[in-house]
Structures are given as structure tokens and as C-alpha cells.
Amino acid sequence: MKLRAIGIRKYLQVSSALIILGLLVEIVSLLWFHPLSFVLFAFVGATLIGLGILVYLASLVFAGSPPTENRG
């Protein structure tokens, strides 16, 4: 149970870190009026945010599965 809880916490921390980083990149891309700003948003910002969401969804799957030590 403890191991599972620690795992979820790590997932959430990684997820939020990726999302925060991606959102900061998005802010920079919105304030930067340059042809590369779209590239920065699409390939860096959106990718980081998307990864963060995926990690969060993975944490839901992880939380939904029965803990390993209770099986059997």
C-alpha cells in the first residue's frame, strides 16, 4: 500500500512538473512574436503538456490496479 502511494505521488509530481514546464513554454511562445513561436508551442510546449497529461492518466491506471503485495 505504501509503495503504491509513493508511486502515485511520483507520477503526480512528474506530471505537474511537465505541465508547468509546458505551460511556461506556451506563455513564452504567446509573448514572442516570431515565426518560430508556433514551432516552439507546437513541438515543445504542447508536447510537454501532453506528456504531463499522459503521466497523470497513467497515475490513474496505476491507482486503479490492485496493490501487488495484496495479491494471491
Partner 1 sequence: MTGSTEILVALIVVTIALAAVFLVRPSITVGVTGKILAFVALGILPALCIDAGMSAHMQRSEQTQFCISCHAMETHGLSLYVDDPSYIPAQHFQNHLVPADTACYACHTDYTIFGPLKDKLQGMKRIYLQYISTPPKVIVISGGYSNLQCLHCHAGARSFEENPIHSAMMASLTSNQVSCITSGCHDTIHNADQVENLKMWSPGQ
Report the interface residues with partner 1, using CB under 8 A: 8-10, 12-13, 15-17, 19-20, 22-24, 26-27, 29-31, 33-39, 41-42, 45-46, 49-50, 52-53, 56-57
Closest approach of Cβ 27 to partner 1, in Å?
6
Measured CA to CA, the distance from residue 47 to residue 41 in angstroms comes to 8
Given the complex with partner 1, which of 54 and 72 has the nearer CB atom? 54
Contact 5, 67 (CB under 8 A): no
Given the complex with partner 1, which of 64 and 72 has the nearer CB atom? 64
Contact 31, 62 (CB under 8 A): no
Closest approach of Cβ 71 to partner 1, in Å?
22
Measured CA to CA, the distance from residue 13 to residue 58 in angstroms comes to 12
